Structure 1
Amino acid sequence: MRVFVTGGTGLLGNTIIRKLCQAGYDVLALVRGTPAPEVFAGLDVEFFVSDLAANDLAGSDLAGSDAIDNKCDSDNASVDPADDDLDQAIASCDAVIHSAALIHLGWNRVDESMRVNRDGTRRIVGACLNNGKKLTYIGTVNAIALGSRQVQADENTPTDHAGGQVECAYVQSKRASLQLIHQAVKQGLDAAIIHPGFMLGPWDWKPSSGRMLLEVGKGWKPIAPSGGCSLCDSRDVADGVIAAMKANTVPGREFIMAGHNWTYQKLWAEMAKRMGTRPPIRAAGPGMEYLAGLAGDLLARVTGKEPDFNSAGVTMSAQYHWYSSQRAITELGYQIRDADETLDTSSQWIRDRFILPTTAVGR
């Protein structure tokens, strides 16, 4: 069986490819350019070079940024035909896993996020429809309902629960992509939709979510964000994605693949233990979070570059992204490993990759 995979240089995509290769699948990986040699070292992978965000479909609505407006009106969602090369690449495969995405938790870069996340998904969807291929789409819990301290959100939780998600660039573009998938299902697309929680794991080359481990490892962070996340292992999510690809799922069915619902203060304390730094002493209060977000927004206006501590990102870090993975566990056999194993492996990977000392007590 031959599988087309996007996002292969990212944490989840790279892990999926490794799992597929280990299981004997043939893999055709979409890349934007020549990847660093270590990213695919030892893997028997064929590459297809393309930029899903490129506006090069002459005569297609994709070439315009307003094909679907930023409010994600599903009634106006449309699927453009894929370009010939992408269409042929997907035609040569038996299944498609679309993991590529731009993650920007801020108010800026909305157009760029839409081009990568929404319009890139549209091209993949078009090729899957043209060739009758099943699409396993990697969404995000940020595109669905928000959890709370009292409630673990699931696939049926109303999207306005706990005040709803922060409408930053990432949330807008991934929600637009999700609605596009559901519109395509009405046109005959066979799709399974996976919403991962906060993933950590090895092979985080850039890094992505491993940046949190890296920052904790650089020195003491006395104040942690006041919210929480659902910690999961990218290897478990990759197994779940492959299970969804193989399963005879109802087209358009969504599956949350999350994990341990922890506060950021607990998560940072566990990270600090493994990275050799001191744990945080408290969580940020509302006033501190407001000032941090305001400072980040002002800095973005002055410099033209939005920092991570903008008001969108700060507000999201004060929310409880806590989720139930019961549907994926029941229907796909999704498993959640012990958090210690995930943190041990991930912290070792970050230390080795970025040459951090094993211990640096007091930093």
Structure 2
Amino acid sequence: MRVFVTGATGLLGNTITRQLDADGHTVVALVRNPPHSEIFDGLNVEFVQGDLTDLAGDVANSSPDRIDQAIAGCDAVIHAAGFIHLGWTKMEQSMGVNVGGTHRIMRSCVRHDKKLVYVGTLNSIAVGTREQPADETTPIDNAGGQIQSAYVVSKSVALSAVMAGVKQGLRAVVVHPGFMLGPWDWKPSSGQMMLELSVGWKPLCPAGGCSICDSRDVAAATIRAIDYDGPSGRQFILAGENWTYKKLWTVITRHFDRSPPIVAPGPIIRAIGGVWGDLVTKVTGNEGFLNTAAVAMSRQFHWYSSERAKAELGYESRDAHESIQASVDWIRQRFIDIDPPTRAETPRFADASCFPSGYDLPGTCGKQK
């Protein structure tokens, strides 16, 4: 089987690529620029260089571009690319990648009758709570609701576009991963949080919680979704163990021989921090990881149930401690020269070029899944 994969340099996309290759399938990976050879070292991957936001090749459906031609020659498509920015700014870029790019993939899938597995996000469906984890049937307007940041808005619009496409003949399955941890986090994405926690003591932690899953388990279920023979447009939550951020940060800091956080900040401190971040954004024109949108999201309990995926996709989510260990091992191997770091030392990074713009740990701007 030939599978066209977007986002193949990101945590989930690269894991999908490796599993497809291990199973004897051919991956046709979309890349914006020639990737570092080590990201695909030893893998049988064909590359198509292109940009999902460049729509010139699709004008009037007249001259098919390289992306369209590549999809035509594949059996299925996994669209795992995305632009993530947890804040109020970068709406144009978020819409261009997450919405415009998805439209482009959809058009080619419909044109050539190819099955699409669209990688969504839990941020585009209902929010769970401590008392009641959400599932695919939970009303979107449940208590709290999603914070309408650039990422949430753009991914929600993209999901609506996919569901509208299904009504017009698109064959698609949608998967919504939880908070993913695991190896091959080249950017890094969630690994940035671990790098941040490996340096110094963080007495405060986010007040909410997340649903921890392993990128290897999510990748396996995403691949199985290609052969899903149920109704088109079916959505699946691929989550895991529901933990508070305090518990997660406590476990991670122990791996790096660091003191765990003491407490989650109260509403007043959260408000001050978020407003301060927004003020800095207005003054500098550059929105960092601290802003009112990110603060509001961090106090929510993004807790979910994956029972539908377990029953219909055979999804299995391993123990969260195993995923954390694998992620820590990868981060140490890839980014940290010393093992383990002591409280008196500052980690040194093996290859600063691995970061999109130097050593800029806070935030998740511009990272692929």
Give the TM-score of the pair, scaled to structure 1.
0.92
Q: Within 2, Cα distance between the matches of 1:156 and 1:362?
A: 46
Contact 1:140 1:195 in 2 (8 A): yes
Once superposed, what is the RMSD of the aligned Cα atoms?
1.4
Instruction: Quote the residue 2:97 is aligned against.
Output: 116
One of 257, 264, 271 as aligned partner of 2:252: 271
Identity of aligned residues (%): 54
How far apart are the structure 2 equivalents of 1:313 and 1:95?
35
Give the match for residue 66 of structure 1. none
Judge conservation of contact 1:228–1:262 (CA < 8 Å) in 2: yes
- 1:220: how far off? 1.0
- 2:76 aligned with 1:102, yes or no? no
SS of alignment partner, residue 251 of structure 1: coil
Partner residue, 1:178: 159
Q: Among 266, 285, 292, which residue is 2:266 paired with?
A: 285
Give aligned pairs, total. Answer: 344
- Alpha-carbon spacing, 1:58–1:323, altered in 2? closer, same or farther (3 Å): closer
Which position in structure 1 is the counterpart of 2:17?
17
| AA partner of residue 41 (structure 1) | D
Partner of 2:347: none
1:330 equivalent among 288, 311, 314 = 311
Contact 2:207 2:300 in 1 (8 A): yes
The 3 A distance-change label for structure 1 pair 156 and 356 is farther
Matches within 5 A, 1:33-52: 33-52=33-52
Moved more, 113-122 or 205-214: 205-214
Asked if residue 341 in structure 1 is aligned to residue 322 in structure 2, the reply is yes
Specify every segment of 5 or more residues in structure 1 that has no aligned partner in the other structure, as ranges.
61-79
Structure 2: distance between partners of 1:117 and 1:81: 24
Q: Note the alpha carbon deviations across 1:297-355, whole angstroms, 9 max, x for none.
A: 11111111101011101110000000000000010100010111101110111112111
Secondary structure of the 1:162 match is: coil
Q: TM-score, normalization: structure 2? A: 0.91
Name the counterpart of 1:352: 333
Instruction: Choose the corresponding residue for 1:257, options 238, 262, 277.
Output: 238
Tell me the residue number matched to 2:358: none
1:1-363 alignment runs, 5 A limit:
1-57=1-57, 59=59, 83-362=64-343
Whether the 8 Å CA contact 1:230–1:260 is kept in 2: the answer is yes
Partner SS state of residue 171, structure 1: helix
Q: What is the rounded CA distance, in whole Å, between the counterparts of 2:165 and 2:159 in structure 1? A: 10
Contact 1:82 1:126 in 2 (8 A): no
Q: 1:267 is aligned with what amino acid? A: L
Contact 1:82 1:123 in 2 (8 A): no
Tell me the SS of whatever aligns to 1:137.
strand
CA shift at 1:276, angstroms?
2.1
CA contact (8 A) 2:94 2:150 kept: yes
Given that 1:277 and 1:359 are in contact with CA atoms closer than 8 Å, whether structure 2 keeps it comes out as: no
**SS in structure 2 of the partner of residue 161 of structure 1:** coil
**Distance in 2 of aligned mates of 1:272 and 1:358:** 13
Using the alignment, how far apart are the partners of 2:137 and 2:154 within structure 1?
A: 21
